[in-house]
Chain A
């Protein structure tokens, strides 16, 4: 009887600890994030890419992001940002391929889905853009509001945030 009581208490404590750990708030991913374990050289190239990206020098940012990926920085943000630069330079098909890689690496990456929807919109594929919108809607309501407005206006650049919605909090939701 005593052993059974100890066993039940032990199990209850384990479950309680696991539930508490799971309930800890998670920080939302950012397109500037670099995961642990990526080589220093890859991180340096990625950060150089980010600086050029911030300055909207899309064509110059592309080789830096590509270098980061070639040096082993195969993380979603690198593919997502590279795709963004390709999209901004008009290479939509290439950007779609790269967004798909970013999404395969992290299927619940809201910014990559948002940008992919905009890339489809730029290609004139409204139905695929709407499908991506359905995913964004479930991941990030504010990002989805902006994407919805872009789809309604058939304008892929409408409320297009190069930093994945980091500034969206300052905007009014768009109906």
Chain B
């Protein structure tokens, strides 16, 4: 009597990749920053937070604040979407990690750790992990 093999295992699609728990773990790792960036990017580009972002950038002396605000909004929106579906997620996560590093240095450090720097730091480390590990199998890239 031969063991019955699950159809997906028979195709080799699961056996060839990492364990399902790892794939799910990478999906969950992507989801947190992806949703945060999607929402913040949406607010900056389409949700009426552009002026507020420019004001923040002027306050912390970011050059070309008006253009920088559009760029960062678009980066967060596109980068969040890229990480959500798992397409070009490594470069998107790397760019967003850089953005978080800038936010920590320019805005959060003077505000302390608890309730301030900790938030951007967690997001930055998650982005760095995605940059190193990739999106995993439960993604557009992983299913090619």
Q: Which A positions have Cβ atoms within 8 angstroms of B?
A: 7, 11, 14-15, 18-19, 21-23, 103-105, 107-108, 113, 131, 134-136, 138-139
Residues of chain B lying within 8 A (CB to CB) of residue A11: 31, 84-85
| Chain A contacts for B52, CB-based, 8 A | 108, 138-139
When C-beta atoms are compared, the residue in chain B nearest to A4 turns out to be B143
- Which residue in A7, A22, A104, A139 is a CB contact (below 8 Å) of B55? A139
CB pair B51–A18 under 8 Å, yes or no, is no
Docked Cα-Cα span, A136 to B110, in Å, equals: 21
Interface size class, chain B: 20 to 34
Would B59 and A113 count as touching, CB distance under 8 A? yes
Main DSSP-derived SS at the A contact region: helix
0/1 string, B65-83, CB within 8 A of A gives 1: 0000000000000000000
A135 touches B38 (CB 8 A): no
Residues of B within 8 A of A (CB): 31, 35-36, 38-40, 42-43, 47, 51-52, 54-56, 58-60, 84-85, 107, 110-111, 138
Please give me the residue from chain B that is nearest to A20 by CB atom. B39
A15-B84, A105-B111 as given contacts; A138 in contact with B55, CB under 8 Å: yes
- The answer on a CB contact under 8 Å between A19 and B59 is no
Partner of B39 from the list A19, A105, A138 (CB cut-off 8 Å) is A19
